[in-house]
Structures are given as C-alpha cells and as structure tokens.
Chains A and B, each alone.
Chain A
C-alpha cells in the first residue's frame, strides 16, 4: 500500500467534470426500443378469435370475450382476447403463436393507476394511446412457432394419373398424418363451419395421440360417411382454418381420410355401436344418397326402423354415380354403405318410387317419409344447337362410367362449366384419352370447384379457358363446333360477385369431338303423386321445408340437394342429420299427443 493508493482514488473527481449519466427527462425522451415488448395491440379485423393466444399463455392472462360490433361468423368466432395485466409477463408468446399475426405489442410501457381492477383490457377494442403505435414487438421473419406448410400428399398426377382410374390421392402414412395433426392449434373455428359440425379438433388430437379407435368413434358421431368426406368433401373447414391465415390450412380432409383408411368396413363395424333400442316406429327414405343414408343412420341410432329406397342398383347416389373412381373408389363406397347397413338400415335398391312403389303406399305404411332424391337432371345450356348428338351432359357421362358402360368422347373434348362435375368430367375424359379444355364464364378464383381439383386437373393436362361463354354450337361433319365469346368481368358493387359480360366481337370457334356440359343439375319430382302436389311447396326448384326438414305435409320431410343449395356431400349429410332430428321431434311429439 503506497502513496499511489492514497492519491489515485481522488481520480473520482474527474467524473464531476464530465456529463452526468442521468437521463434528463426519461419519461418523454426514452421510448421503448423498436422491438420493445410493451402493451398489446390487436388488429380487430385480422383477428379471428381463434384463442391460440389464450392456450399458450402460461399465466392464464388472456380471456376470450365477446366484443361489441364484432359478429360471430363462420370464419370468426367473434371473440377477442382480453388481457389481464395482473397476469401478463410480457413474454410475447401470444404474439409468436397468433395465427393471423393480428396480435402484436407496442413499444409503450407506462401504465400507472391506483385501481388494480383497471388492468384488464381488450387490445384494439378499448381506447388506448398505444393502439396505433407502429413500433414494438413483432414476430421476426424466420421465427414462427407454427408450421405454415402442410405435409405434402402423395399423388399420382400428370401422365401417370391419366393412365387409369386408380385413385389419385394416396392418403397419408402414419408419420405424415401425425405430423400434419401436430399443426392443428385446436381452436375449433372449423367446427361451426363444417355443415355437419364434426369434432375436427378432437379427432385430429386423437390422430396425434394415436388413438385411432376414438378418432373413428368421433367421426361416426357426426358423420356416417367419413370415407366419402375424407375424399371428396368440399372442406369448408379448411377455408376457415386459423392456420390458413398465415400459411396452408391444416389438411383436415386428408386427416379424416387417414383415420377411415385404417378401418376397412369389418374393422369399423367391430368398433362401432350396433345395437339400439327399437321404438317400433317406421320411417321410409327415398334416395340412398348421402342425405338419405345419413338420415337413415341417425334414425336407426334413435331406434326407428328405417327403409331406404333407391332407384339405382347400388346405394350412394351422386357420390357413387357422379364421382369418378379415381377420386372415390368403388370399394370404399361399398364399405361405407356396408357400415351403415350393419347399423340396421334396410336398403332396397332398384326400386323407383312412383314407378315400382307408390308414394301413397309409403305414406301409409310408415310413420314418416323422407325425400332425399337429389338433383339428377342436368341443366341445359339453352343455346342454339345444343341438342347435337355429341353434346352430352357430364353427369350422364359419369353415371355411365360408374355403371360400367363404355363412353366414347373422341380426341378433343370441350367441357363447359366450372364446378366439380365439370372437372370430374374433364378428368374422366382425359383418362379416356382425349385432350380436354374447360370453358368457364368467370375467373378461376370464382370457380365453385375445389381448388385441389382445379390444381390436379391442370396437373393432368386439362386446359382451362376462363371468361369464355359458349354462344352457339354448329355441326361440323358430325362433330360439334363451338362458337364462344370472351367475356369481361363487370363489377356489381360491393358484396356482389362480378358478372361476366360478353365482349363484342371477341368470338372464337373451337372444333371438338365432344362437348360435355356441366353447368348444374335440377331435380325430378315426378314421383310425387298428384294427390300431394298441393301439400308440398316449392321454392324455385327446391322443396320448401322448415328448419328441420319438415315440409308442409307434416309427415313428409325433405333433405339433401333438393332442400339446400350448397350441393355438396357434407351439406347433404348434415341435412340428413337435421331431418333425422326433425323426424324424431315430430314423432316424439305425436306419440306424446296420443
């Protein structure tokens, strides 16, 4: 210890001459850094109320609550996160997991109050000074807690695919299914959107945990035809999937298919409940399409004796006869029907009501009758020359193929329409060896067909010409020549879809071997006898019913395409459920009256 040790400490005084460390006015001049994790912000319009933030919050700081002015719609639960700042730890996990990236954090950090109860607010809905701050914590690029890409599905596409009617989609393997099931955040937004309200999050969870028996049970609770839906469903659920906002939606349809693929009919039957209390009441169902089968299934489970009458040789309706085998193999359809039959449904095929059996007899023999006949008659083009012999309807063609008849389409085929039937017809034609071109009035994004189907068709070499309207069909040495006109989309104002309008002078011709029309179908109500015609009301082409399918003739119910306008299998299945519920309610009250 020398003199230096005594003198050098006085060096501290140098600091007195320097600028102080103290920040002069920290409150106003020190905003949080650009990434500061301050108070939350939420973009009310982007948020769909999926509740992932609530799930991941380890502090249970987030509640989902209804907010005035936000309606519950099919894609939005109408709920918004309400954050309890008596719990929040500002970790930002909620921001990281937000499926829509609507939840962020501002760089504001001062909130002082004497009342502890005020520290709860709904970001975005409650007026706060930091609502519009553009700085603060955001998810970094390259950092995302959720997988945005779905597991690729193995498919046979392109040249290999069109060689045969083998199923194109191969289905997930166990690893793939589990990986895809992992992506789900279990928000349940999809459940409401699914017409049949299937327990999507639950069965995905069951896949993830490899409880396939439970998964099957869950599927059959709400959907008697899961194999069908696992293949050809229009999957509205996927369009609202929370993950779809920042990437691919969860492949709900393929996951469903994965479950049912593990259960051939015998295994599924072994797994499901089969014996139900018999209540002695009889119900007749006309049409063994998805709606009819679904209603039959539910009614059997409720204890009714159900007979389904089908005019075709096999049950399945449009799914069997309108969907080609490469999408919906025949044996899968058979399995599907077998399971339902095993539940106790009596199926009588080849019986056309009105021809083989009179509607009145049904009315007499049964306690209730359900009409589920569907739309079978194709719409006409209503243009000159459409009755040319080489102009066929898509639905008829598919029907013929399904019945094993040979169909000749030639080398060049034009398909008119943009729905699933159009694409099925086009791809079938492709498999028959033709060059196929689809003509559609509107744009690709307006097509009612599933996007996967469009994509697969394109991959198989189907050409698509959009904004094209056929105006005339001529005969060209026995084969048809189609004159079509280009159209432009004219905006119809907000909320209405744009309308195609012919462009003058932009007409072109196409020489083809066959023209397949697939612009929609209508129903055939011939089987309804004269005596009842006044008692069943119609709404344009559809049967007017009550909420649960009851027509004006209380004993008669209706379901499926003849009632709802969505025209897809899952809606028909949901309709079947509704009708079953309606019939049960009707018969139960009637019994009570007695």
Chain B
C-alpha cells in the first residue's frame, strides 16, 4: 500500500503532530460498542480517513498460561474453555488432545464422534454470532437481533448435552463427560431447521442488500501474498484463495470420515469473507447432519486416565491444532513429568489478525468502516491475551 501520504513511521511508531489540527486521536474502546469485546483501538484520523491505528489488548488478561502451570492436568480442563468465550469447545478439544497425546491415553471412537459434533455445533454458534455482529457493525441491527436469538437455540442444545450454556466443559481428557440425552436428535433437527430458516432470511436481506454490498465490497482486501508474512489463517486466508483448513490438511477427531469441501473465496474483501463464512455455516449444518447419521450410538465414551489427582504425564512436548471459526487454533503443551503441565501455550488465530494485520489494514480506510472491518476479520480478544 502506498503509505506516502500517511505519517512517517520511525521505529514502529507513526510520527504525527496532534497539535497541527490535521489529526484527531480517538480511542475506540475498551468501553466502546464498536470493538469486538473488551479491547481498544487507538485511532488517529485525518478527516474521515484512518491514518494510524494501534491495537491495545490485555484488558481480558487472566494469566491462563500461568494458572495452568499451577493446576493439575484435570483441573485445567474447566479453565481452558474460558479462553475463547464464544467458541469454547475448540479449546476443550485441543487441551484434551494435547494431554492425550503426551500421556498416550486412547480415546474411544464414540467420544471422538461426540467431540466432533460439539465442535461443529460450536462452530455454527460462533459463526451465527459473528454474522449478527457483521450485520450490526454496519448498522443493520435486524439481522444482529435474529442471529443472537438463533444462536441461543444452539446454546439450548449445548445445555441439553453438557449442562452448560456457554462453558460446556464437556470434552475432557479421555473422552467426553456424557452421551447425548434422550430425544436429542429431534431437538437438534428442530434447531437446525430454525437456523436454516434464519440463514435463508439472512441471505436474502443481507447478502442481497444494496447498502451492505456497497459498504463491504472492496473493503479490507487481503491479497494472497499477505497471508504468510502476516500469519493469516482460517476464512480470512481462504477468502484470499488459500486452501488451508486443518480439518482437511491434518484431520483430527473424525473429520477424515466426513465428506466436505474446503470453501475458498477469491475477492478476499469483507463481502467475500462474509460469503465464505456463510457457506461454512451451511457446511457446518451439513456436517452435523452427517455426524448424526453415521455416529455410533453404543459403546464407551470415556477412557479413564489414572487417578486424576495424581496423574503424572511423562516429559515431552507437542503442538496440536484444530480449525476454529477464526482459523487454526493451536495448543503447545510441555510436560515435565510432574502432575502439572510445565507450559501451555495457546495460539489463538485472532492474535495475528487483530494486531499485526489489523493495524496494517486499517490505515487508509474510512473511520466509519473500522468496526465493520474489524468484525470481518472475526477476532475475539480473549484468545489474544489469554
């Protein structure tokens, strides 16, 4: 991008003179409805044009990685889901998978199916909420309202399976905590129908909306050659033509037994990203149906690790990854032979999207597009700072 008209950057910092009257500095957040979650954007604008942006994170920092070093392996499993509030199951899965790999604990087949089911359901829920946010950030509250309501139906399903709406704490090292409740299939189908109806409506009113198109087309273009230097992942990269999808590239759980295609876009602007995600939502619904059809209904769903109060895991380190709605999510776990992990590093895809990439992309956009652009990168602050 031609940055010549923007303030000069010296040592990573823009040099602008606020007293000149040319520039106005605005803080978007942390107390601000225009940012996704509790984070802040330090924006410098000139007229309506953003000339410098700095992302400030850390408002949600709870020191998870430190806390996890202080807790037993089993005690960490309720903790990890809190790292990403809208889509906790990926965290639960990854933590369990990493611990299982390091300890050599086998997981029953049925548990893997149940895990995949919840993973896909949480993908769906997270995407629905994102869709609402994307519409809302451009001022279309109607779809936003519908979306959150429809997502709530999915949460009801989660509540029926796991006993929790937001924090499911369902995928535990060794398997899952329970099987599906009675009558779940019918409830699920009911909810999927509602979601499909919502998506049908949303497609008509949002994706065929003159104003929405006008706002999003051409906004925030990610070119393919930006993918690697900025570490772009997930739908953000796929909308730019990348075909990376962990579910396909290195299948985990039972994704190798499911049929689906990687959804790839071409325009890589905000509209195209939205389109890609929308198709991934449809794909999720399809996958859920597939899972329900071929999932085994009998058998064990939990392999007990050794007494969890004294469970020690031999020294080793591993990195496990899974595809979340924002892209590749990873857990790097180091064990030192004791009953507590030596180090758990959580790599959330928002980390690169919300800071390095967004700081770059925002420069030159209209200030009014900032919230929409941010949502179109689909970032969740808690996974940045953990």
Contacts and interface: CB of A to CB of B under 8 A. Distances in A.
Question: CB atoms of A and B under 8 A apart anywhere in the complex?
Answer: yes
Interface of A: 1, 4-6, 8-9, 11-12, 14-15, 21-22, 32-37, 52, 55-56, 58, 89-93, 96-97, 105, 136-137, 140, 142-147, 179, 182-186, 208
B163 A11 contact: no
A11 B140 CA distance: 13
B205 A8 contact: yes
B71 to A, nearest CB: 5
B146 A185 contact: no
A15 B208 CA distance: 17
A315 B156 CA distance: 72
Contacts of A143: 175, 177-178, 301-302
B20 interface: no
A35 B209 contact: no
B301 A142 contact: yes
Contacts of A1: 210, 213-214
B210 A145 contact: no
Given A36-B159, A89-B78, 6 more contacts: A9-B211, A21-B149, A32-B159, A35-B162, A36-B164, A56-B75
23 contacts: A5-B210, A12-B205, A21-B149, A35-B160, A36-B159, A58-B72, A58-B76, A58-B79, A90-B167, A91-B78, A91-B167, A92-B177, A93-B78, A97-B309, A105-B163, A137-B163, A140-B177, A142-B302, A143-B175, A145-B308, A182-B306, A183-B307, A186-B309
B181 A35 contact: yes
Q: Which of B78, B163, B310 has the most CB of A within 10 A?
A: B163
Contact of A97 (B163, B167, B306, B308): B308
A15 to B, nearest CB: 7
A134 to B, nearest CB: 15
B246 interface: no
B113 to A, nearest CB: 15
B142 interface: yes
B223 interface: no
B182 to A, nearest CB: 9
B20 to A, nearest CB: 39
Contacts of B169: 91-92
B201 A11 contact: yes
A37 B78 CA distance: 13
Contacts of A92: 163, 169, 177
B210 A147 contact: no
Q: Which of B169, B205, B306, B307 has the most CB of A within 10 A?
A: B307
A146 B162 CA distance: 20
B308 A34 contact: no
The 5 tightest CB contacts between A and B, nearest first, are A91-B78, A58-B75, A21-B149, A35-B163, A140-B178
A90 to B, nearest CB: 7
B39 interface: no
A12 B201 CA distance: 8
B201 A15 contact: yes
A146 B149 CA distance: 40
Given A9-B210, A12-B142, A140-B177, A208 B75 contact: no
B213 to A, nearest CB: 6
Interface string B302-316: 101011111000000
A9 B208 contact: yes
Interface in B113-160: 142, 146, 149-150, 152, 156, 159-160
A36 B163 contact: yes
A22 B205 CA distance: 21
Q: Which of B79, B150, B178, B181 has the most CB of A within 10 A?
A: B178
Instruction: Label chain A's interface by main secondary structure.
Output: loop
B146 A146 contact: no
B356 interface: no
A211 to B, nearest CB: 14
A182 B149 contact: no
A182 B339 CA distance: 12
Nearest to A38: B163
B185 to A, nearest CB: 16
A33 B74 contact: no
Interface of B: 71-72, 74-79, 142, 146, 149-150, 152, 156, 159-164, 167, 169, 175, 177-179, 181, 201, 204-206, 208-211, 213-214, 300-302, 304, 306-310
A93 B156 CA distance: 22
Contacts of B156: 33
A92 to B, nearest CB: 7
Contacts of B162: 35
Contact of B209 (A5, A15, A185): A5
A37 B75 contact: no
Given A6-B210, A32-B159, A140-B178, A15 B146 contact: yes
B163 A147 contact: no
Given A1-B214, A58-B78, A145-B74, A37 B208 contact: no
B76 to A, nearest CB: 8
Nearest to A178: B306
A243 to B, nearest CB: 10
B116 to A, nearest CB: 19
A3 B299 CA distance: 56
A1 B72 CA distance: 57
A21 B306 CA distance: 46
A34 to B, nearest CB: 7
Given A5-B210, A21-B149, A89-B78, A142 B300 contact: yes
Contacts of B175: 143
A1 B302 CA distance: 54
Contacts of A208: 310
Nearest to B162: A35
A183 B307 CA distance: 6
Given A5-B208, A208-B310, A21 B181 contact: no
A96 B167 CA distance: 17
B69 to A, nearest CB: 12
A147 B209 contact: no
Contacts of A185: 307, 309
Nearest to B178: A140
Given A35-B160, A56-B74, A91-B169, A182 B210 contact: no
Given A11-B201, A58-B72, A37 B309 contact: no
Nearest to B302: A143
Q: Which of A14, A36, A184 has the most CB of B within 10 A?
A: A36
B208 A8 contact: yes
Contacts of B150: 21
Given A56-B308, A145-B308, A37 B163 contact: yes
Nearest to B194: A21
B204 A11 contact: yes
B349 to A, nearest CB: 25
Nearest to B217: A1
Nearest to B175: A143
Nearest to B197: A18
Given A8-B205, A9-B205, A146-B307, A21 B301 contact: no
A93 B72 CA distance: 12
Nearest to B163: A35
Q: Which of B152, B160, B177 has the most CB of A within 10 A?
A: B177
Contacts of A9: 204-206, 208-211
Contact of B160 (A5, A11, A33): A33
Nearest to A10: B205
Contacts of B161: 35
Contacts of B149: 21-22
Nearest to A2: B210
Contacts of A144: 304
A400 to B, nearest CB: 46
Contacts of A6: 210
Contacts of A93: 74-75, 78
B71 A58 contact: yes
A285 B76 CA distance: 57
Nearest to B145: A21
A1 to B, nearest CB: 5
A4 B163 contact: no
A385 to B, nearest CB: 57
